[in-house]
Amino acid sequence: AVVSTQSTESSGINAEYGGIANKRYTDYEVRLKTNLPIFRVQECSVRRRYSDFEWLRSELEKESKIIVPTLPGKALKRLLPFRGDDGIFEEEFIEDRRQGIESFINKIAGHPLAQNEKCLHMFLTEPMIDKNYVPGKVRTH
- State how far the alpha carbon of 76 is from the alpha carbons of 80, 86, 88, 98, in Å: 7, 13, 9, 17
pLDDT in tens, 111-131: 989 999 999 999 999 999 998
Cβ-contact 24, 9 below 8 angstroms: yes
Residues of 62-87 as b/e, b for ≥16 C-beta within 10 angstroms? ebbeeebeebbeeeeeeeeeeeeeee
Is the pTM higher than 0.85? The answer reads no
Which range in 10-24, 72-86, 95-109 is most confidently predicted, on average pLDDT?
95-109
